[in-house]
Structure formats: C-alpha cells, structure tokens
Structure 1
Amino acid sequence: MAGPGGRRSTNASQSMRGSRIVFAIVIGILLGCIFAILYPHGLFSGDFYSASQLQSRRRSKSDVQIGSASCESTERVSMLKADIADLSNSNDELKMQVRDLTKKLQAAEQKNGQAEQQVVVVGEPQKAGLFGTVKGIRINPTVLPDETVNPRLAKILEKIAVRKELIVALANSNVKAMLEVSVSSIKKSGISNYLVVALDDGIVDFCKENDVPFYMRDPDEGIDSVAKSGTNHAVSGLKFRILREFLQLGYSVLLSDVDIVYLQNPFDHIYRDSDVESMSDGHDNMTAYGYNDVFDEPAMGWARYAHTMRIWVYNSGFFYLRPTISAIELLDRVADRLSHPPPAWDQAVFNEELFFPSHPGYIGLHASRRTMDRYLFMNSKALFKEVRKDTNLKELKPVIVHVNYHPDKLPRMKAVVDFYFNGKQDALDPFPDGSD
C-alpha cells in the first residue's frame, strides 16, 4: 500500500500530462486559423495566389468594370433621351389612334347589341355586413377629362364653371324673348355659372349686348339648319348631341330650357349622388315619385287584379348630368334615336332609355337616377293648379318654375317673376289652370 508521498507524485504526473494535451490542442487550433486566413483556397489547389496577388487582381477587375459601366451609362442615357423625344413627337398621333379605336369599338358594340358588360373595379371584394347595414354603390366614377375634344369650349368652361358645374341653355332667335326673362332671373338669383349655347347670330348679339356668357359652336352641316330655324322641339332634340362635349370635358351640366324662371341657386339643392337628376312632370307625390297602380281585368276571375309600377315622366327640359360613362351613353342613345325615323318626341325617348329594363333583344341603360323635389323644382301644372290656391304653399319659394304645361309661356313667366320677385300677390290669378 502506497503512502501519502507516493499518491502525491502520481497526481502531479497526471496533471502535467493533461496540461500538455490541452496546450497541444490550443496550438493546433491557432495554426489552423492562421492557414485558413493566409490560404483561403487551400495549400494544394492547382492555381493559387497569395493574398496580395488576389487583392491586386480584384482591384484591376473593378477598375475595368467601372470604366465599362461609365461608358455604357453615357450611351444608355443618350438612347433614353432619343426615345423620349420620339415618344413626345408621336404622343398626339397615339392619342388620335386611341380615340379612333375607342370610337370604332363603341360603334361595334352598339351595332352588335350584345356588348360585354363593362365592370368598374372600385375595390377588393368584401363580405356582406350584418343585416340592415349593406349599402350598394350609387355613385358612378366620373370620366377622365379630355380637352382635345373641344379646346375652345374647354377654355370657356374653365372661366365660367364653379366646382366643375354650370347651367347650360340652348337658344335661337325664335325663343329670344323667353331667354331674356330666364337670363334676367338667373342674374337676380346671384347665379354666375351659366352659359348660353347660341344657335344663331341673333342670340350672339343678344348675349353681347346683355353681358351674357355664350358659346357658339363650329359649323356643322348636319344640324345647323335645325339649330337656326328649328322649332322648340327640334332644338330640344339637338341638345343631347351638344351636351356630350361638356361631359367629355369633365363638367357636370344642369340643362335648362328657356321657359324657366330661376328663384334660387339650383346648385344648393342638387344631391350629386346619381348619374341623372331630373325634375318631374308629376303633379303630386304619387305621380312624381312613383306608385303601385292596380290594373283590373274582370274576365280573369281570381287573377283579375294585376299590380303595376307607375311614375310620371322626367322632364327633358331640366335635368342635371354628372360626367359619367352612363350619362354619356344616355345622350348617345337619345341622340341616335332622334336622328333616325320614325320621328319621335325627345322627352319620350329620354324616359324610355332611362327606365326600360334589359330584356330579350334589348340591353337597358345602367344609369342611376334621382327625382328632384317637386316643390323646389316646380312645373307649371303644380303651380297653377295647386300651389297658388293653397295659403301655406304660396309662402314656399321654389328654386325654379318651369312653364312646361302651358303654351302661353312668356306671359306666365313674367307673372311668376312678378309674384316671387316683385311681391305682387295677385300676379298669378288671371291665368286658368290649364290652357284655353
């Protein structure tokens, strides 16, 4: 059995041996790191370079690449400048080509009668909300303004329009007297954004003499004869073609016949939530806003009663159009039908295109519409048959009065001015409810 001295000697010997092993491992690791740094590609690769040679080679390659890139960049800039110049020169030609192709496409679609549905993407698809919270889209997007359509008109509208909207009236010398009363009421009501489309030289002279903003179209052989000598109805049909350019230029238009007296600014009472807002020929709430009319056919026995939906027509002499594709399509449809036989009344065609739904052989117009307040935008039937006889309603001040139901337009217009502007309480009394 070994004593204490022998055990201490054995332990010391084992400790020294362990220290040598650890020292050898550390030395090996250090040498490995040094070789890895100095010879990253290995000691025995067939094509190796020292660190300095590799660094020199990389530097020379970088210099060559920078020089080459500099030359290529200069040439590329020159080429791009040349391309931009070419595109700028051909920009107008491309616009003309696009416009021509668009017209051809629209014509083909109308001729076909089975055009693919146009879809406007207004956002990502979304889930329906809770019951009673779901609301559909009511306001169609406006078109991109295109000033190339009529640069001269664009400059006029830029000066006259307020918030991209204005009143537009068409007139020839046949309606000069009524135009004078209507324009005078516009001025009295403090309305500045209005424009007369002069259809002959007589109206141009009138506008110049009375400081009335006007626009005279460029000659058009196809419609000038109607414009200068046409009757009230003929001129009324012409407006659908003329209004198109206003919408294409990006302006909302309040179309106004000349037999209208203005008492307030109508733009303070427009909702602007539909493609078309129009006054109604209806004389009460049912006829103006719609009602369920029951058709009775006794021969059918149990099924003798059939329910129908009725509404009196919109007046084609006073309506507001937003510059949307649907509104422009409405103008195109009405103008096209009025230009072909058989002869048709523009107001009837206007309402048929607005209200008839799609059905076999026919694609309906997808336009949103709003009926104007019948007491604010008042027709002459409502005024002379109802309002003037009611003490409370006589205190109401309409926005406009349209003398559309009576042929003696001028004297009734003057009476409306006397009643509402001049305070003559008996000004409306001499006239019958209807026409003689």
Structure 2
Amino acid sequence: MGPLLGRRAKNAAQSARASRIAVAIVIGILVGGIFAFLYPHGLFSWDHASQFKGGRLTKSIIQIGSTLCESSERISMLKSDIADLSSKNLELKKHNTELTAKLKAAEQKNNDEYEVMVVDELQKAGPFGSVKGIRTNSIVLPDDTINPRLSKILKKIAVQNELIVALANSNVKSMLEIWFTSIKKLGMPNYLVVALDDQTVDFCKENGVPFYKRDPDEGFDSIAKTGSNHAVSGLKFRILREFLQLGYSVLLSDVDIVYIQNPFEHIYRDSDVESMSDGHNNMTAYGFNDVFDDPSMGWARYAHTMRIWVYNSGFFYIRPTLPAIELLDRVAERLSQRLPAWDQAVFNEELFFPSYPGYIGLHASKRTMDRYLFMNSKVLFKEVRKDGKLKKLKPVVVHVNYHPDKLPRMIAVVEFYCNGKEDALESFPDGSDW
C-alpha cells in the first residue's frame, strides 16, 4: 500500500502542474488575441521595412532624421519669406516717400515747372448734351497743427465749417461797429474779427464780438498798425491761408459792408472762389463780347474781345481747396514784393489770366455772385434807388466800395433797408464829390 500511495501522489502533482501550464498557455493565447485585435500593427508602428540592424532601430532613426530635415527646410523657407516681405515693405515705404514728396512738390507754386498728376480713372463720354465737367474741387485735409489756438476758436464759432472773417484796426472802428451790429441782428454766430491792434481787441471785448489776434510778428504788426487801407488789405491773403488749412470755408469781408440777409443762404459752394462783382450791369458783372476797332486793318478791322469787370477782393467766399490756397499764395507773394501793387488787381490777374509761354495760370473755378443780392454801392446809388421796382428788392449785403464817404452811406443803407426810411438814400450824389 505504501508504494502505491506514493505513485498516486506523484501523478496528482504532475497533473496539477500540467493543468497550470495549460491554463497559462490558454491565458497567453487569449491575451495575445486581445492585443492582436486591439493593436493589429503592434504596440509600435513598425512597417515591413523595419528591421533590427546592429542593435538599433534604423527605421526610427530615418523617421527622426527626416522630420529634422523637414523642419530645417521649413525654417529656411520662412526665413526666405520674411526676407522677401521685408524687402517689399522697404520698397513700399520708399514708394510712399516718393509719393509724399510728389504731393508736396505739387503744392509748391513753381511757375517754371509743374508736374501733372492724373488721379481720375478714364471715363467714357456720355451722349450729346449730357457731359458735365468737374466744377467743385475737393477740400484739403484739415491740419490743426498749423495754428492750434485759431483752430480752437473756429471750432466754437463756425457753423458747418463756415464763417465770416474781417480784418480791422482802430482806424475803422465806427464802420466795424455797423458791420458787426448788422450781423448780430441776423442772429448769426459764425463771424470773426481779426484784430490788428490792441485797441480793436478791447473794442471787440466790450461789444461781445468774437475776435482773434495773431501772435507777434514784426513785419505783420508794423503794417497792421500803421499801414494804409491797401496795405492792410494785402495782409488778409496771408491770414486766410491758415483758415483754409484748418479746413474752413471763409466769407472774407471788408468792414464797409452792411448785412441785410444771411449770406450763407445764398451761396452756391460749387467753386473755389465765389465773389462779388464790381460790375454795374449784367454785361460788366457777368461778361460780354467787346469789339475792338482798328481801321488800319481794313477788312479785319474788327477784333472781338471778352471782358468782365473785376471781382471785388473785399467780399468773396473761398473754399479750402488746393487751387484756392494757391491763389492766396500767389497774391500774397506778389504783394510782398517792393513793386507797388493793388491787391484787387493782383487778385483778379491771378484768378483770370490764362497760361501762356513763360507763365502757368491758376486752375481755379470761380463764380460771380448775383449783383442785386450782393450789391456794390455803384449799383445801389446809380440804379437801384432810382427804380421803383428795384427799390423793393432786399439785397443780402451792400458794399460801400465805390464811395469814400463810407460811414454816412453805411448809416443810410441801414436806415433804408433795416429801419424802413424810404428817403434815406436820396441826399447822396451818384458818385463822390471828387
């Protein structure tokens, strides 16, 4: 019995070991199947070209090296692109600088050499009778740095970037009072006196009149305080330039003017300059064909000429455009020369004379104001006051420009048009006594 029991125990142990081995094999097969199902390509992405060589994974090395090469190439490409963009940026900056220089050069008034810059796109002409040229130039970009103090004043008093401006010193105090009183009666806030001396500043303060006095300027101050009417009149072209650069349209006004209606309600604003005429009828105010006779020419003795009486440089509306600023520059430059010149004559010559060999004319648009609405004193005293129908018309302004006895005639204009005194104009002669 003893040996038999020993053999049975040994066989049982061997059976148990075999069972454990079998279970282990089964478990191994199951785990292997699961991994095979979940990771068909193995735990690591080897392809069929992956081989062990010298104990190293050559495929991994190839892949890593390839990635590094691609990164280097991409960095090189980016560096190249950045270099190209920097080069183009420099070219654009250079081009922009050149364009800026050209624009500045175009603003300079050089009569010997002009650079033509065409900015409009080509257009087809429309049907007969439908073509209209450009009449209204674009305004300039306002630049407050030109005169910050004046800019601050204008922002307070201007209405829709428009205002009336008059230059005055203490020599015209009485006329100035009539001038701003007539404006105040119309309820207009947008007017300004450019005071040429301290007395005028004090006078404006006393009467609640908006004013502006320039910073000290030796040459300017000497003319402003002691200069004649014509000398003082020449200063306005220098002063007006700053108003236009700041982006404001100005109705420049002498002080020998009475305001009866709001002038801004009767301005067209379609031209660089819109001015009162010195003409006394439709022909002289708006232009006419004048025939010159030269008998020595026989058959060709008659030569036709175009004529118009001058614009009044003491009352005109000017817009902030490049041609308008060029006009002011030209007139101011000529008036600053030692040769004697009348500002009104220079103003009209620069505005109307065309280009010709050796001279470049001003390319500015212009409009003549209605001679009955914007009335000069010749029209009033020679025509209107003698006509029953015309006396019923209500002008916008009356400019006492044709007569030296300005103050009494201004008072009479106020009496006639503002106070209803019908005979207020009767005592004056058509012209002056001298």
TM bracket (short chain): 0.7 to 0.9
Q: Deviations over 1:207-228 (max 9, x none)?
A: 0000000000001112211111
Equivalent residue for 1:75? none
Equivalent residue for 1:271? 268
Whether the 8 Å contact between 2:106 and 2:114 is mirrored in structure 1 is no
CA–CA separation in structure 1 for the residues paired with 2:357 and 2:152: 44
Partner residue of 1:208 out of 192, 205, 210: 205
User: Per the alignment, do residues 234 and 136 of structure 1 end up closer, same or farther by CA in structure 2, a change over 3 Å counting?
Assistant: same
Whether 1:255 and 2:252 are equivalent positions in the alignment is yes
CA–CA separation in structure 1 for the residues paired with 2:124 and 2:46: 61
What amino acid sits opposite 2:371 in the alignment?
R
Whether 1:336 and 2:338 are equivalent positions in the alignment is no
Q: Deviations over 1:209-267 (max 9, x none)?
A: 00000000001112211111212111111100000000000000000000000000000
Whether 1:309 and 2:306 are equivalent positions in the alignment is yes
Partner residue of 1:127 out of 105, 124, 128: 124
Equivalent residue for 1:349? 346
CA–CA separation in structure 1 for the residues paired with 2:254 and 2:101: 33
Instruction: Report the CA distance between 1:117 and its aligned residue.
Output: 2.5
Equivalent residue for 2:366? 369
Equivalent residue for 1:50? none
What amino acid sits opposite 1:431 in the alignment?
F
Whether 1:117 and 2:116 are equivalent positions in the alignment is yes
Instruction: Report the CA distance between 1:174 and its aligned residue.
Output: 0.6
Structure 2 counterpart SS, 1:176: helix
Equivalent residue for 1:189? 186
Equivalent residue for 1:179? 176
Whether 1:399 and 2:399 are equivalent positions in the alignment is no
Equivalent residue for 2:383? 386
Q: How does 1:315-326 map to 2 (within 5 A)?
A: 315-326=312-323
Aligned residues: 357
User: Per the alignment, do residues 296 and 404 of structure 1 end up closer, same or farther by CA in structure 2, a change over 3 Å counting?
Assistant: same
Structure 2 counterpart SS, 1:431: coil
Q: How does 1:39-54 map to 2 (within 5 A)?
A: none
Partner residue of 2:410 out of 409, 413, 428: 413
What amino acid sits opposite 1:204 in the alignment?
V
Partner residue of 2:151 out of 154, 164, 180: 154
Instruction: Report the CA distance between 1:101 and its aligned residue.
Output: 10
CA–CA separation in structure 1 for the residues paired with 2:400 and 2:51: 105
Q: CA RMSD in A?
A: 3.0
CA–CA separation in structure 1 for the residues paired with 2:278 and 2:324: 21
Whether 1:138 and 2:158 are equivalent positions in the alignment is no
CA–CA separation in structure 1 for the residues paired with 2:123 and 2:357: 32
Structure 1 counterpart SS, 2:219: coil
CA–CA separation in structure 2 for the residues paired with 1:210 and 1:361: 51
CA–CA separation in structure 2 for the residues paired with 1:232 and 1:173: 12
What amino acid sits opposite 1:284 in the alignment?
N
TM-score when normalising by structure 1: 0.77
What amino acid sits opposite 1:117 in the alignment?
V
TM-score when normalising by structure 2: 0.77
Unaligned runs of 5+ in 1: 1-34, 48-52, 69-94
CA–CA separation in structure 1 for the residues paired with 2:101 and 2:335: 24
Structure 2 counterpart SS, 1:254: strand
Q: How does 1:156-171 map to 2 (within 5 A)?
A: 156-171=153-168
User: Per the alignment, do residues 271 and 44 of structure 1 end up closer, same or farther by CA in structure 2, a change over 3 Å counting?
Assistant: same
Amino-acid identity (%):
75
User: Per the alignment, do residues 41 and 417 of structure 1 end up closer, same or farther by CA in structure 2, a change over 3 Å counting?
Assistant: farther
CA–CA separation in structure 2 for the residues paired with 1:138 and 1:45: 82
Whether the 8 Å contact between 2:106 and 2:115 is mirrored in structure 1 is no
Structure 1 counterpart SS, 2:341: coil
Whether the 8 Å contact between 1:240 and 1:331 is mirrored in structure 2 is yes
CA–CA separation in structure 1 for the residues paired with 2:157 and 2:50: 85
Whether the 8 Å contact between 1:172 and 1:229 is mirrored in structure 2 is no
Structure 1 counterpart SS, 2:177: helix
CA–CA separation in structure 2 for the residues paired with 1:237 and 1:383: 27
User: Per the alignment, do residues 236 and 42 of structure 1 end up closer, same or farther by CA in structure 2, a change over 3 Å counting?
Assistant: same
Instruction: Report the CA distance between 1:188 and its aligned residue.
Output: 1.0
What amino acid sits opposite 1:116 in the alignment?
E
Q: Deviations over 1:282-315 (max 9, x none)?
A: 0000000000001111111110111000000000
What amino acid sits opposite 1:305 in the alignment?
Y
